Amino acid sequence: MRAVICRAYGPPEGLQIVDVTDPVPGPGQLLVRVSVAAVNFPDVLLIAGKYQIRIPVPFTPGSELAGEVLAAGDGAPFSPGQRVYGATAIGAFAELALLDAASATLVPDEVDLASAAAFGVTYRTAYHALRSIAQVSAGDWVVVLGAAGGVGLAAVDLAVAMGARVLAAASNPEKLELCAQRGALAVVDYNREELKSRIRELTGDSTRVVIDPVGGQYSEPALRGLARGGTFVTLGYAAGTIPAIPLNLVLLKGITVRGMEIRTFMTDRPAEATRDLAELSQMFADGTIRPHIGARFPLADAPAALRYVAERKVLGKVVIDVP
């Protein structure tokens, strides 16, 4: 089979597409013929050796996929021919991939495989942050930074579905137009407008939650725009810089700063994770939410897909079509 291989940590351009041995499913695993894989910002960090965990090279990157089951290992309750989607630490950018049966879900009949591949990681991250960490309620003002990116647009979609009022902050008019189309009531171009004052102005100084998957220079002004007693949720640092927050702001405004990492949420908070996943899966199955796919690349152009995400050009999700 063909697969993308990272032989040394570095930029996407260092990846190779080569022929490798077909994987064989072990107990509790599925062998999946990959139709579509989705690209996430952590994939960029993994191949650079800069993620929270370090995968020994060589490895095949890619953490989200959808496709057809070819074989099931002992104890895996799936059958050949079934369409599934799911997440795995690595291995999705290939013609064949192994998927733990526990992390696989049947694709609803009315859902295309690209939507299924693009759904899991970003929407789970956003929903856990909104539902369990920030405990968003209908009518709350929620500010989303990086609102046109994968996690950001998922947060916009889900906050709107939960009845919240969304202020979307992003870096150009095209991204903000997409957020408005997805239901954001207010938008801020944080490359051209002063973020703190615009948040206060547009929400009537009543922002209860900030969702921040971006970090960098945007975090502190967004935190300053929170209303007293609000909650700031940090999810990642796509801007490339981990911000330092002045703790006196937390004290003076009585705000809460929370962190959430999808990789450990299930083990840290299993009851909430199970509840959230059931609710999210129902919204996906009944069509309440669908990911926006902003760009598609063939497997041979996987390095270009990762570069596209690394440079924050994406609107919604980027996917890789595997012939």
Tokens of 146: 């990086």
Q: Residue 266 has what pLDDT?
A: 87
For the chain, which residues make up each domain, given as ranges?
2-111+284-321, 124-264
Q: Please name the helix (run of DSSP H) or strand (run of DSSP E) that holds residue 209, with its range, or none.
A: strand 207-212
- How high is the mean pLDDT of the chain? 95
Residue 82 buriedness (CB in 10 A; 0-12 / 13-18 / 19+):
middle
pLDDT in tens, 203-227: 999 999 999 999 999 999 999 999 9
- Mean pLDDT throughout 183-202? 96
Q: Residue 300 has what pLDDT?
A: 96
- Mean pLDDT throughout 259-288? 92
To which residue do tokens 């997409």 refer?
A: 178
Give the Cα separation of 223 and 242 in Å (integer): 14
Q: Residue 304 has what pLDDT?
A: 97
pTM over 0.85: yes
Ordered strands of the 165-170 beta sheet: 186-189, 165-170, 141-145, 207-212, 231-234, 256-259
Q: How confident is the model at residue 301 (pLDDT cuts 50, 70, 90)?
A: very high
Residues counted in the chain: 323
pLDDT in tens, 105-123: 999 988 999 999 999 899 9
pLDDT at 235 over 90: yes
Q: How confident is the model at residue 258 (pLDDT cuts 50, 70, 90)?
A: very high
SS3 237: coil
Pick 2-111+284-321's CATH classification: 3.90.1150.10, 2.40.440.10, 3.90.180.10, 3.30.565.10.
3.90.180.10
Exposure b/e, 116-140, CB count within 10 A at least 16 = b: bbbbbbbbbbbbbbbbbbbebeeeb
- Mean pLDDT throughout 78-91? 95
Q: How confident is the model at residue 253 (pLDDT cuts 50, 70, 90)?
A: very high
**Are β-strands 207-212 and 141-145 bridged in parallel, bridged antiparallel, or unpaired?**
parallel
User: What dihedral do alpha carbons 218, 237, 281, 321 form, nearest 10°?
Assistant: 110
Per DSSP, 59 falls in state B
The yes or no reply on domain 124-264 and CATH 3.50.50.60 is no
